Chain A
Amino acid sequence: MGGLAEVELVLSMLKRLLVGRPLPNSEQDHQRISKVVGLPVFSSDAISSTAYATEEILFVVAVAGSSLALGLQTLVPIAMAVASLLTIVVTSYRQTIFAYPSGGGSYVVSRENLGRYPSLVAGASLLVDYVLTVAVSISAGVAAVVSIPAFRDLADRRVAVGLVLMALLTVANLRGVKESGRLFATPTYVYIVVVTVLVGWGLVESFLGDLGRVPFDPDAFEGTRQAGGDLGLFLVLKGFSSGAVALTGVEAISNGVPAFRRPESKNAATTMVLMGGILGSLFFGVSVLAARLHPYPSHDETVFSQMGRAVFGEGPLYVVLQFATVAILTLAANTAYADFPRLCSIIAKDGYLPRQLANRGDRLVFSNGILFLAAMAGLLLVAFGGRTNALIPLYAVGVFTSFTLSQAGMVRHHRRLHEDGWRRGVAINAVGTTATALVLVIVAGTKFTSGAWVPLVVVPAIIALFVSIRQHYRHIDDALAVEPSQVRPEALNHTVVVLVGRVHRGVVKALQYARSLRPNHIVALYVSQDDDDGARILEQWRSFRFDVPLEIVSSPYRELTSAVESYLDELDQRWDDDTVTVIIPEFVSGRLLSPTQLLHNQSAGALKLHLLFRKDTVVTSVPFHVDRRPPEG
């Protein structure tokens, strides 16, 4: 539309360049996946948390007023507690998989079993959780990169590196990265193998060989190094809360049951158990290894990297470990890129989020959801300086809120439907509900001041937003409701104003179009710069003998928009119009971005945009196609 249209065209071309051509709906297929492929596709988020969960425990128990030695002593008991919690959660979610073969995210399970507000709490918590998954995974991935000695100079630019990674991930998702098995499988399996080797080799060397402790660098250590003393219960629980982030992403398989090959639920449940086994073993193994090797929490080098260098040296295996860590963390962020827009779409279809989030874009992905997620996660990354441990306290509240609601919903589900073995199901999910609710209380209580208050404030705010959006849509639906008696065409007092810049063929065509509308009044309007200018156009108008009166309004500064608007106000007074149609003759040249088109249509575009918001005013463009080629013959 006018000059703005040219800008839109450039943006549209850039968009095509960046995200590719539109895809037909037929390409929206759902490839069924096997357990071998399903494991990396749905577990990269959960398994990747082994890269930072142990370190996060250490950041609490070895930094916050205690000593490194004391912290390391509590590492294994805390890891055991987290692994036990993982067992409970995995067992509970197996029930969800069988109960919801079409996919049972916390929002859906809560909505169907607990009602409106619990489902909104689950939905808001999950949305916050997905944003944090991206921010935490990207910042942990960057930490793995800058831990490599060759890349340590990038440490000061970790936010910028994180934003670049996030931008790449966003573009890839906007282009429509499918949850391709091969894309996910290789890095995830490489990570599982290399971490298994790290733990196995490291423990064997530590117990039977001569592998000693990680060399201590007092300048890099962020805490106190002392012996003796004791660690309070509060700090132990706080450390446990940090370790509990290892459970993030565990529910992903229960959301994606339909993606598995038949029998879907059985395959998904087996994959869930496999994932739980791998995640639990790796997390526990890494924690035991850390207790042996005595790495120290540091912003310069991750605990993982310190142990990798101690076990593998700085050779190829160490580099593989670091890059596999970066890769799996990036995939974990990618999981959120798939899940966040999908959840937004479900919530939007229920009317609690803007409808734009419910629709797929022209690449068959939920583009608006992807962009919103990227913006929110980017803001978090910048606000927290790209430091994982600063983001972690915000993380677990949302995760355990959605776990608790989902499990509570399952208890209700079993009690409501009385399916075979429902009593056993109630027992399993009741244990899950109690355990995750207890962890939620611990996380919120121990980390309240260090950041857990943020989701406790943000989640209710999001719910308030959900409710107000829903109310708005209801209000609009009521306002748009139409009765049969209202649809009979009524006589309309209609005036058409044809805007004239100067007399040319476009104006002739616009006048013809204006007559075809059969309005009550037609006037042509010219906005003049001065008296001479007005007299000149009037003379020209008369010479063409148009049967439409030309009215001239003066605007010494050639301010088109306000002059036209004042004129329309005056016209309303004159004829008490029901509707005024403003016709703008517009040049359309054969060439894209022709300078003529830009020059002619700039002010028309601005005027149109302005008039679109004027009551009872219709704006119509009558295009006039011009061709600069010389006439033939």
Chain B
Amino acid sequence: MEAARSTSEPARSTARRLALVLLGAVDRRMLPALTLVPQLARCEARALHISVDPAAAHDLARAWMDLDLHWLPLHIEEPTGPTLAGTVRDVVGRELRARPGVTVIVPEMDLGRWWQPLLHRSAGREIAWHLHGLRRVTTVVLPVRLDLGA
């Protein structure tokens, strides 16, 4: 066994572990996350959108209602800092005060093309990197492969 000891964790409340699905928009990228979330045992689930553009947040909220996703409540948070990843970290930190742990599910589009990073910002990986090392946090980067054909 690894000669190491896990540091003490804060007193657990009765709150359950939280599964947080990060959303930029209502689109196909969220589908695998919607399938994964119900499989997480003993977890409370929530969708999270960081509102960098109020109009986009409004559209997203409307689309969410239209899709009738009542089982996965959508929370919209104002950015707490200049970066998206920093805001997610703040939200996760806040939740960790009252919960035994947080699983952050980050849907990530994958085109399978070398030039993808040039046209699409990999916010998911940036967020995963920011959360890396936070105790009681598990990050799931959920790739969604889009086949663009030839």
Chain A residues near B (Cβ < 8 Å): 1, 5, 8, 22-25, 354-356, 359-364, 469, 472-473, 475-476, 479-482, 484, 486-487, 489-490, 492, 494, 503-506, 513, 515-519, 579, 581, 588, 590, 612-628, 631
- 7 A-B pairs closest in CB distance: A626-B4, A504-B2, A480-B27, A362-B82, A22-B82, A480-B28, A516-B41
Q: Is B120 an interface residue (CB 8 A)?
A: yes
Contact in complex: B6, A625 (CB < 8 Å): yes
Are A22 and B141 also in contact (CB < 8 A) when A489-B34, A516-B41, A613-B110 are? no
Tally chain B residues at the interface, Cβ within 8 Å.
59
Contact with B86, one of A22, A484, A490 (Cβ below 8 angstroms): A22
Are A618 and B142 also in contact (CB < 8 A) when A489-B34, A505-B2, A613-B110 are? yes
Contact with A along B129-150 (1 / 0, CB 8 A): 1001111011111110110100
Contact in complex: B32, A579 (CB < 8 Å): yes
Contact with A along B32-43 (1 / 0, CB 8 A): 101111111111
Q: Is B119 an interface residue (CB 8 A)?
A: yes
Chain A residues, CB < 8 A from B37: 489
In the bound complex, CA of A364 to CA of B82 (Å): 8
Chain B residues near A (Cβ < 8 Å): 1-2, 4-7, 25-32, 34-43, 66-69, 79, 81-83, 86, 108-112, 118-121, 125, 128-129, 132-135, 137-143, 145-146, 148
Are A626 and B2 also in contact (CB < 8 A) when A479-B28, A620-B138 are? yes
Q: Considering only CB atoms, which chain A residue lies closest to B25 in the complex?
A: A480
Contact in complex: B5, A627 (CB < 8 Å): yes
State the total of A-B contacts with C-beta under 8 angstroms. 153
In the bound complex, CA of A48 to CA of B135 (Å): 56
Contact in complex: B6, A482 (CB < 8 Å): no
Distance of A143 from chain B, by nearest CB (Å)? 35
Chain B residues, CB < 8 A from A24: 81-82
Distance of A340 from chain B, by nearest CB (Å)? 18
Contact in complex: A621, B39 (CB < 8 Å): no
Contact with B128, one of A1, A360, A475 (Cβ below 8 angstroms): A1
Are A487 and B27 also in contact (CB < 8 A) when A23-B82, A356-B121, A621-B132 are? no
Distance of A332 from chain B, by nearest CB (Å)? 29
Distance of A429 from chain B, by nearest CB (Å)? 34
Contact in complex: B135, A355 (CB < 8 Å): no
Subset of 23 A-B contacts with CB under 8 Å: A355-B121, A364-B82, A476-B146, A480-B28, A481-B27, A481-B28, A482-B27, A482-B31, A484-B66, A484-B67, A487-B67, A505-B2, A517-B40, A517-B41, A518-B40, A619-B141, A622-B138, A625-B6, A625-B7, A626-B5, A627-B4, A627-B6, A631-B5
